[in-house]
Amino acid sequence: MSFTDKTLTCSDCNTTFTFSAEEQEQFQSRGYTNEPKRCPECRETRKANRFNNEGNSYGNNSYSNRSFSSAPRQMFAAVCSDCGKSTSVPFEPKQGRPVYCSDCYRKVRDSR
């Protein structure tokens, strides 16, 4: 299919921009069916704002408090139930439940 340059209007700033034939081919090869709504400058601004908002692309929704944050994970000191070596784990050990160092955990996990 042959493409020709198109002139589009940005939905954010209302300026016109060219949607080149090369860009149209690229869009088609990626499976995109819609034409861009924003000019390249507004697209870059939107992308920068989206990723600057809390350091991830999820902004202020329910994902922002998950493990995507840059805060260090809280670790708890423990003693391996198998070999007796001191270790740290990312959960609070409970009485009566075995805790394994990474080496022993691999052995237990592989045996399941």
pLDDT in tens, 34-82: 999 999 999 999 988 887 764 544 545 555 445 556 678 888 999 999 9
d(CA 66, CA 81): 30
Closest by Cα among 43, 2, 47, 44 to 22: 2
3-state percent helix, strand, coil for the chain, nearest multiple of 5: 30, 15, 55
pLDDT of residue 57: 46
Give 38's contacts (C-beta < 8 A, 6+ positions apart): 10, 11, 12, 46
d(CA 42, CA 10): 8
Cβ–Cβ < 8 Å for 60, 54: yes
Structure tokens at 19: 């949607």
Q: pLDDT > 90: what percent of the chain?
A: 51
Q: How confident is the model at residue 2 (pLDDT cuts 50, 70, 90)?
A: confident
Q: Are strands 6-9 and 86-89 parallel, antiparallel or unpaired?
A: unpaired
The secondary element (H helix, E strand) that includes residue 107 is helix 102-111
